[in-house]
Structure 1
Amino acid sequence: MTTQWIEVEADYHQFMIANADVDTTSVTSTSSVFDSGSGFVVVHTGIAAGPVSVALEILDAAPAAVLDDWDNVSEAAIRSDGPLQVLTTLGDNPPGFEQLAGLGGGTYVLRIHTRGRQANWDMTVESPTEQYLIQIWPTKRVTNARDLRSTDGVWDTTEIAAPAVAFDRPSANVDDATVDLYGPVRWDPSESDNNA
């Protein structure tokens, strides 16, 4: 299979694969590569704005997962009420992805591979420095996003625990949070500006 790479304009660190007029803020699942919900996937780019290279493979069934050539690979199954489209944040549908229109409504797995997102983090670029391979095939049920590979550290979904702070809490029996921050405070009304 020959893979055709097409430039898609990313903006605000993203581009989308979605139904027309879907609310892409109704996120139900998150991975290191994208957020997903009913009828959409919002792909997270490393660049803030500029072109990225995107290839699309529409398949009849799940392919073997090829992970070693990619920084990150994530997948989710979403329900689509109509044809999916590759979209920019402004809603533009770049040419070259017409084969998506033939899918129609249904439930599909989207496996998205990324490469190069860390190279120009949060920058505006003039030519593509990131690649995204999107594989799509039909399935029977919706599934949450999951990372098959996550190595670039960009858009990491691992929660970082807050460090434990070891100190004596003078405020154990006090409701004022100021005590936790600054220690016990004595207030002398005669020192108040209102009593001058």
Structure 2
Amino acid sequence: MPTPQHTTTRTVHVDAGTIDLTEEELVAEFEPEWTLNGLVEADPNDGSARILCGQEIGRIAVTAQLWDGAPPLEPDGWQDVAEVPVSWHSAFIDFATTGTAVDPAGRLTLPGPGDYRIRVHGRNRDDGDPRDAGDPVEEYLIQVWPAPPVTPDLWKATSRTAALWRTPGE
């Protein structure tokens, strides 16, 4: 069974309701098509992706893992699980939010530029905005592995947050 090659965990301050997965600098300027899965979307024009959070502003827990192949799909305990292909132009992924600086200590180091698959798991996405001190922490697991570009997959979708975005106009 494959095991993660590298893992990084951070508490991230969310501002503007998203986490950007970026390369050298925060350049994720695209408008995601959230109706696909209500969780994650890759920019088709550059090496970046964006994760939609349940909070507009707050602190969330993010764990990112590099795998050498597709990790086992384990959706239990998560509200939403989706994956998308992305082409990276650098040898690391950083995750930040709008208006924050890139933190080199929190980077996920990759084997190099190339095509990858990103699977995002999210939980506690519906537990309030803003959050009170006793509310559950919104949490994300990001799994990354080398893979050719293929269509996105939605594995699990149970949060009200994702459902709201997947059905615009309601």
Q: Which TM-score band (shorter chain)?
A: 0.7 to 0.9
Q: What residue number does 1:81 align with?
A: 89
TM-score normalised according to structure 2 size:
0.79
Structure 1 unaligned regions, length at least 5: 163-196
Higher strand share: 2
SS at match of 1:154: helix
The answer to whether residue 158 in structure 2 is matched with residue 151 in structure 1 is yes
Q: What residue number does 2:13 align with?
A: 9
Q: What residue number does 1:123 align with?
A: 130
Q: What residue number does 1:189 align with?
A: none
What is the aligned counterpart of 1:34 among 11, 35, 40? 40
Percent of aligned pairs sharing the same letter: 22
Q: What residue number does 2:113 align with?
A: 105
In structure 2, what is the Cα distance between the partners aligned to 1:22 and 1:94? 11
Amino acid at match of 1:43: I
Q: How many residues in Structure 1 have an aligned counterpart in Structure 2? A: 159
The answer to whether residue 109 in structure 2 is matched with residue 90 in structure 1 is no
In structure 2, what is the Cα distance between the partners aligned to 1:6 and 1:54? 5
**Retained in 2: the 8 A contact 1:34–1:43?**
yes
Taking a change above 3 Å as real, the CA distance of residues 93 and 77 of structure 1, as seen in their structure-2 partners, is same
Q: What residue number does 1:176 align with?
A: none
Taking a change above 3 Å as real, the CA distance of residues 117 and 95 of structure 1, as seen in their structure-2 partners, is farther
- State the Cα deviation string for residues 142-192 of structure 1 (Å, max 9, x = none): x34332100012032433688xxxxxxxxxxxxxxxxxxxxxxxxxxxxxx
Instruction: Please state how far the C-alpha of 1:41 moved relative to its aligned partner.
Output: 1.3
In structure 1, what is the Cα distance between the partners aligned to 2:114 and 2:77? 30
What is the aligned counterpart of 2:59 among 51, 69, 84? 51
**Retained in 1: the 8 A contact 2:78–2:121?**
yes
In structure 2, what is the Cα distance between the partners aligned to 1:46 and 1:61? 29
Rg: which structure is higher? Answer: 1
**Retained in 2: the 8 A contact 1:6–1:96?**
no
- State the Cα deviation string for residues 91-146 of structure 1 (Å, max 9, x = none): 42246423x234331111110100101001x32667971110110000122x3433
In structure 2, what is the Cα distance between the partners aligned to 1:160 and 1:43? 17
In structure 2, what is the Cα distance between the partners aligned to 1:48 and 1:103? 33
SS at match of 1:155: helix
In structure 1, what is the Cα distance between the partners aligned to 2:64 and 2:49? 14
CA RMSD of aligned residues (A): 2.7
**Retained in 1: the 8 A contact 2:68–2:146?**
yes
Structure with higher RCO (Cα < 8 A, 6+ apart) = 2
Q: What residue number does 2:68 align with?
A: 60
**Retained in 2: the 8 A contact 1:10–1:49?**
yes
TM-score normalised according to structure 1 size:
0.69
